């Protein structure tokens, strides 16, 4: 059970890092939003983009947390998979920062 809670916390942190990095890239015209659903929110307003990202992510994590006892193995695997996806997104953002640092020197 503790592993599931830890994975949920780590996922939350990774989502916040992704949100912050994405807003930075978008504000400086270094990138475009890859997710068409989130792009639709961004087209309306950056604030709506933030609310949608936090709201959808929060509801998803809450659903997994709610069912953590009944479907322990499934929830654990889903959280593990989502963490791996967001770790790869984090590495992609990190690669972008390193690339910017290298080309500006």
User: pLDDT tens digit string along 25-45?
Assistant: 999 999 899 999 999 999 999
DSSP state of 104: T
Rounded distance between C-alpha atoms, residue 51 and residue 64, angstroms:
20
**Most distant CA pair in the chain: distance in Å?**
54
What does each of the 105 residues of the chain score in pLDDT, given as a tens digit? 789 999 999 999 999 999 999 999 999 999 899 999 999 999 999 999 999 999 999 999 999 999 999 999 999 999 999 999 999 999 999 999 999 899 886
Structural domain of residue 12, as residue ranges?
A: 2-103
DSSP string, 70-81: TTHHHHHHHHHH
Are 82 and 11 a contacting pair, CB within 8 Å?
yes
Whole-prediction pTM value?
Answer: 0.90
* pLDDT confidence of residue 104: 82
Number of domains composing the chain: 1
Rounded distance between C-alpha atoms, residue 32 and residue 60, angstroms:
24
Are 85 and 11 a contacting pair, CB within 8 Å?
no
Tokens representing residue 58 in the block: 């929060």
Percentage with pLDDT > 90 across the chain: 91
């Amino acid at each position: 059970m503790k592993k599931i809670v830890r994975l949920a916390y780590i996922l939350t942190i990774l989502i916040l890092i992704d949100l912050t990095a994405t807003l930075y890239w978008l504000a400086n015209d270094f990138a475009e939003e890859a997710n068409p659903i989130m792009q639709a929110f961004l087209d309306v307003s950056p604030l709506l983009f933030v609310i949608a990202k936090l709201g959808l992510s929060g509801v998803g994590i809450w659903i997994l947390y709610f069912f953590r006892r009944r479907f322990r193995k499934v929830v654990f695997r889903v959280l593990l998979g989502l963490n791996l996806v967001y770790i790869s997104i984090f590495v992609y953002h990190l690669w972008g920062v390193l690339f910017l640092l290298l080309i500006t020197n």
